[in-house]
A and B are shown apart, each in its own frame.
Chain A
């Protein structure tokens, strides 16, 4: 826990953005964590986005508490009604309340986003750390695998893999005798795995670069001289310093994963009923362009947009909070 003697109340911004000393100010000490939080809170858009995202997650995961109607309540007589006071987002083709459907669909979208980020970040960070720290042939192998995935367009692989899942809901690997099935998965789960499988290579590169740089620093040498094991060094010294890169990248991965899932579903390779996501709702409504039912297209897209925007702002805020030496953004 190091103490930084410089605090914001001592300095103010001059006309050209440089820091000026305020007369008579008293320096106050802050811990790293407190400084981090202060910097994050100053980023207005990030704060707003954090609340927005939390609110979004709450209404989606808590849809059974919040939604005005029951899930999947069909009302064939009231199909495709535009927004009204009874149905804030109108009704869909089976007369279900669109707002309710969107809230429930949000669960899947958000889950896919979070889980993909979690899985790919964990995997990627570990592999990157090991590759950077150990070097040698492990590094070579990991780097070559990473290159392989960077060369091949991810969408192609994702679409092909997912098509295999759509069929029979299984991954078909080999026909041995009479159909040896490798394992059975649900398509949403498969999408999470596939997208995560294709997202980790960026994190690997970043973490590896970061670790390579950190490896040469004095505190690592000191720790090694003091007899610390490699695991301990990685755990206590290297990884904590990578947190910044990892976290920022993780948030961005959430956004990318959400859009990727929506894109794959839009192309027909993704989710199908009864699994809905916002991407699926857009796909379902793509024929409404130029008609009166275009609201079926706007609302899920808007939700996607707001979510991704919020995640991006949060990522931006995190980046600023982790890196005080970066340029000051006033949001």
Chain B
């Protein structure tokens, strides 16, 4: 070893992180170097301070009991140590990451509930029934806590916090009630017509219900998802504040909408405010004439959820038919878990003026995501340009996999056309956690008649023949029930009766409407060689001017195209040849192939080459130049007259 050991070498040596050779080397050096030994001792002494954190920590019996109860189903709320955290009130607004709901009641505690006589449906019996339906975290005892309004100073150590009131990854919900200043205590059934200016900052933490249900509508043409969810919110009679946080999610705050599902004539959502200095947070002001649980529908747009289609085709042994399986994969990178969501997938192109991701990541809800541009609700920003398609319903089996990787019950993706776009609805509900993807079978069709073709066109693909498989999205091809979304296609081929597969090729396909022909480019056909060889060039039929200069001629080229098929199957081949002039004449030298005029300057040859065999295609093409071409042009013009 040259010189002394480095600190890193000594650390690795002390903690047995070095290789054997390095360890031997350092040990040998230490034996002879006092400086490094002292340095090592110093490091060891320094690291010994880590032992300061070796404290005798024990899990309390109550923690163990509550953990067991929470894990096995009976949740016990954790205790929030408000008395040990005097700073909590100041940081509460930023402590919670994600979306949260805040109910702030501005009226006094202990007043009697005055139910309107017409609201028999919202009777105590009904309320009891509802509370039985919600998870344990939202039990009636927590509602009692919500009804209490305590002065800030009395934010009691016994206040209950339920961390399991969770909306999803990074999203914790809390509902908070304000203390009720004594002067605001009202008589029964009275509601101050003047709304409170803002919720108080002193808070009491209570429990918020989970989502009752959630529906996702995911567009694959844009980074856009419409979320509709229902929650049972506990309202007090009077003014209520409801807080929504979207930190660490990609929710567009300008798209937030909240509506009561029941008691619409008694519950009014008045305004949504974005308090200053509080980022990624909004509060609704709700006026309620009823007290208790009211179902609300919350809708908003988010980005980060996407779906895409992909297909797997398996060619039969003779490559005359194909089994095609279509899949959709849903990916969630929205920052939010969606549990048991009804999932709908939209095929169609959506034009967005503002990207939801940009809207979601603004510091303040109505700040402009760009330096310039429109500001406003999403409703103004979206312009659907989806495709119109004929409508049909298809029932196709699909299956998904759970966490354990064990195949679960088959699911169905129901497809239907809407006036502006095509809608795929996944049967039942799906849980799509944040950062997860989920693949679902969309359809499968057997024995689709296909055409396999090798194409050769130097102007388009160079000197390699390209392999194509074509079929149509119609009934004749056992498809045609729905349009096929754009996506990746992978084609395999059965190579023996044991159903072993060989990969043939892959490509991206565009959106395929019903009735459209599909031609899949599977890449170069390695086992087919096509080699055109120019065998002869000559000019003839020269014309001269009065001085003896050449003014026109015919050019005659003789070509030989050698085609070798090394496959065990016959191959249909299509060869396109160009002549750079619209005036050409072609003569086949052998009858192996036929040709047709493909366009004004191209001819196309079609032939079939047997398995493991060769074919030779010879032809002569004559082109006309100078005065000879002018003569032909003149004849064409005369013929047109």
Q: Do A and B come from one complex?
A: no
